[in-house]
Amino acid sequence: MEQRILNFERKLAQSDLDGFLVTDLLNIYYLTGFSGTEATVFISKNRRLFLTDARYVLAAQNTVSGFEIIESRRPLAEIAEIVKADRLVRLGFDHQVTFAYYQKLQTYFAGIDLVALADFTEELRLVKDPKEIAAIRMACRITDQAFADVLDFIKPGVTTEWDLANFLDFRMRKYGASGLSFTTIAASGCRSAMPHGTATEKVIQNGEMLTLDFGCYYNHYVSDMTRTVHIGPATDEEGEIYDTVLRANQALIRTAKAGLSYRDFDSIPREVIEQAGFGQDFTHGIGHGIGLDVHELPYFSGTDGILRAGMVVTDEPGIYLDNKYGVRIEDDLLITEDGCEVLTESPKELLILS
């Protein structure tokens, strides 16, 4: 934690800001280790303040070090007094705050420059340390185990998408997950053409594609994996679409490494799908970072940037044929100096279930 705060303070010193108000709870967890639901952190050249209410003071005293811990139900009023006493004039704050919260900031910090910043702490979270990687690795292992179990559970004509989602959710918890990283997607038949078709009461039928996109939290870090399987024998077209998506996924695994540009990370797998004639049916970005959040930096399409060792990103090409079916395959990749490690290990050859 101390190293993270030092990195934050170095970035603050290099900026034109006198202080920063951290209000995003994931950023607060990253910087302090506190995982309650109410806290405000203020960092300036000579202050490290952690403010929370009576419910969490004990937890903060036990987990947060290197900060002055202040119990308060009016954190902004407390910070505003200190800002005034220290004669600070320009403060950054996490841009995700609500408009109502921003209005409160304007009231408490009248006369002070308030600068909303999108990614101040998030950029520090881009490269994961070994402890973070270990947690993501475990979340991926749990996800793999749940997928292995679900294959025997699918009974065409009987099992609903809800049944599948509930089964996956329960198994992930059974294997040690503390929660789901997002609402589990189980989309069968023509519903699989919706990239984010959350589960419904629909029964899984013979002859259908079935897309499962799911993940979990382990020790605050997430996994995010997609597998598409087929119920009964697949048609030639279905086999070709599946093969194209798989080749795109694998082309990226072969080339992803530190130093690759974000634009190439997106375009290398996209070209595989375009060359097969399905470019217009790959309707979303190739992937995103994962960590404390299931969608976090980096994002790839139309963004300048270079992959760095220690980033954990998804590789999730897809082809979606409206009113027919869709295929997506998603892995979580740990970027290394000379390549990448695939953290999600579930099988990827087209599984034919019956």
H or E element, residue 70: strand 68-71
The nearer residue to Mn ion, 163 or 224, going by C-beta atoms, is: 224
**CB 218 → Mn ion: shortest distance, Å?**
17
Relative to beta strand 352-353, strand 225-231 is: parallel
The pair of structure tokens assigned to 135 is 């947690």
The nearer residue to Mn ion, 18 or 224, going by C-beta atoms, is: 224
The nearer residue to Mn ion, 75 or 289, going by C-beta atoms, is: 289
**CB 333 → Mn ion: shortest distance, Å?**
12
**CB 207 → Mn ion: shortest distance, Å?**
27
**CB 349 → Mn ion: shortest distance, Å?**
21
The nearer residue to Mn ion, 24 or 224, going by C-beta atoms, is: 224
The nearer residue to Mn ion, 90 or 196, going by C-beta atoms, is: 196
The nearer residue to Mn ion, 231 or 312, going by C-beta atoms, is: 312
**CB 319 → Mn ion: shortest distance, Å?**
16
Q: Is 130 exposed, middle or buried (0-12, 13-18, 19+ CB in 10 A)?
A: exposed
**CB 290 → Mn ion: shortest distance, Å?**
7
Nearest to 211 by CA among 227, 234, 235, 222: 227
Residues within window 206-235 making contact with Mn ion, judged by CB under 5 A: 224
Nearest to 136 by CA among 329, 328, 293: 293
The nearer residue to Mn ion, 19 or 289, going by C-beta atoms, is: 289
For residues 31 and 121, the answer to whether their CB atoms sit within 8 Å is yes
Nearest to 293 by CA among 5, 28, 1: 28
**CB 314 → Mn ion: shortest distance, Å?**
4
> For the CA atoms of the chain, what is the radius of gyration?
23
Q: Is 52 in the site for Mn ion (CB under 5 A)?
A: no
**CB 330 → Mn ion: shortest distance, Å?**
5
Relative to beta strand 90-94, strand 19-22 is: parallel
| Site stretch for Mn ion (CB under 5 A), options 68-76, 227-235, 307-315, 319-327 | 307-315
Q: Is 99 exposed, middle or buried (0-12, 13-18, 19+ CB in 10 A)?
A: exposed
36's CB contacts (< 8 A; 6+ apart) are: 52, 55, 56, 59, 60
Relative to beta strand 318-321, strand 331-336 is: unpaired
Residues within window 271-290 making contact with Mn ion, judged by CB under 5 A: none
> Using CB under 5 A, which of 32, 159, 228, 314 touches Mn ion?
314
The nearer residue to Mn ion, 209 or 222, going by C-beta atoms, is: 222
The nearer residue to Mn ion, 161 or 315, going by C-beta atoms, is: 315
**CB 299 → Mn ion: shortest distance, Å?**
11
**CB 224 → Mn ion: shortest distance, Å?**
4
Q: What is the DSSP letter of 193?
A: G
The nearer residue to Mn ion, 41 or 290, going by C-beta atoms, is: 290
**b/e code 18-41 from CB counts within 10 Å (16+ = b):** bbbbbbbbbbbbbbbebebeebbb
Strand partners, 198: 185
Task: Give the residue ranges of DSSP H helices in 256-303.
Answer: 262-275
In what order do the strands lie in the sheet containing 312-315? 296-299, 288-289, 312-315, 331-336, 339-342
The pair of structure tokens assigned to 16 is 């034109």
Binding residues (CB under 5 A) for Mn ion: these are: 224, 314
